[in-house]
Amino acid sequence: MATVNLFPYDITDLDEKTSDQLSEHFSGKPDKLVQVGPEKMLILAQFRHEMEEYYTFKIKESDIFVAGFPRSGTSLIKDIVWFVLTQTLPATAAPSFADIPLLESKSVTSERTVSELNSKSLAGCASTKLFTSSLKHLSKMTGRRVIRTHLHFNCLPPELTSSGCKVIYIARNPKEVILSMYYMYCDRRNFTGSFPSFVELFMSGLVLYTPYWAHLSLAWSHKDFQNFLFLFYEDVIQDLDEHIKGIAQFIETEVSNEQIELLKGKLMSQERVLETSRKFIGEKLEVDDEFNVEGLEEDWREFYTEKMNDRVDEWITVNLEKIGAMIGI
């Protein structure tokens, strides 16, 4: 009897010519990449072995999904959700990966990352084991689960909008997203190219999880579902009080004004400490956590030349018109 594939989209290897061109921007052995579905979402090749597990993941009515394109503010939202749910404020750290797993972690953890972690310490081995088995970890979790994901919505379970779970999606100024992704690629994926070259790769759909506008468009098409909350990072930062209250109400949890002030203080403290602790290595910025750059407004103006800015503006305008979304630029 033939095996029935429940994942409805084709997955193709990134063509050899493009792979060779990409490898010129990286040091070391390049990751094998594939493109998924009609949108051609770019992701590590091991996704083809796990795609069906994500698509058929059993959602509980009590689940809370925190979604968004990488570097768009999902860490900020997960921290808010975690505090509101648990009514606790960690003194030194945000919720761990064990608290809020990344659904597709196994598909974005490269062999190089696993090897590097495991060579450092036993703690690294334990961390890698958890990071590459998030689905198993999620299946054992009790109570309300908070689940983070960067996958395109058509790769997630079709029951996402009918299961009764809550979905919070956050979008951000694409110029900030590109800059933050560049930092991450330099620090974690051995990217050696220039920032202008990275901008071109991003707009061409050759950075993990791109095409960016396909990601945003799929989420935007869900914005009117009752269990879906679509947020803009810039709005959240401008009025944290109201958005903390709004998120609490959305996930059907109460939060007091005193708790809101405590959470605001924690979040703002994190941003100030992380901003002053950043350091440049040549022309590249060292970044250790997703939250490092999420709180830095107007950072992009220092890095985009006038020509680059005009080109990205045109790319933004054309795509916003296609999907009918409004993002603060």
Q: How do residues 172-182 score in pLDDT, each as one tens digit?
A: 999 999 999 99
Sole residue written with tokens 């103006």: 301
SS3 letters across 37-105: CCCCEEEECCHHHHHHHHHCCCCCCCCEEEECCCCCCHHHHHHHHHHHHHCCCCCCCCCCCCCCCECCH
On the question of a cis peptide bond just before residue 70, with omega within 30 degrees of 0, the verdict is no
Contacts of 7 by beta carbon, 8 Å cutoff, 6+ apart: 51, 52, 55
Contacts of 229 by beta carbon, 8 Å cutoff, 6+ apart: 166, 167, 168, 169, 246, 247, 250
**Mean pLDDT estimate for the chain:** 84
* Strand intervals (E) in the chain: 11-13, 33-36, 41-44, 64-67, 146-149, 166-171, 228-232, 279-281, 284-286
pLDDT the model gives residue 1:
43
Percent of the chain predicted with pLDDT > 70: 79
pLDDT in tens, 106-160: 888 766 666 665 566 555 555 555 556 788 889 999 999 999 999 999 999 999 9
The neighbouring-strand residues paired with 146 are 64
Contacts of 117 by beta carbon, 8 Å cutoff, 6+ apart: 124, 125, 127, 128
Q: Which two tokens stand for residue 73?
A: 């503010």
Domain locations along the chain: 60-323
Tell me which amino acid residue 106 is: K
**Quick one: which of 89, 94, 84 has its CA closest to 295?**
94
CATH code, residues 60-323? 3.40.50.300
pLDDT in tens, 124-136: 555 555 556 788 8
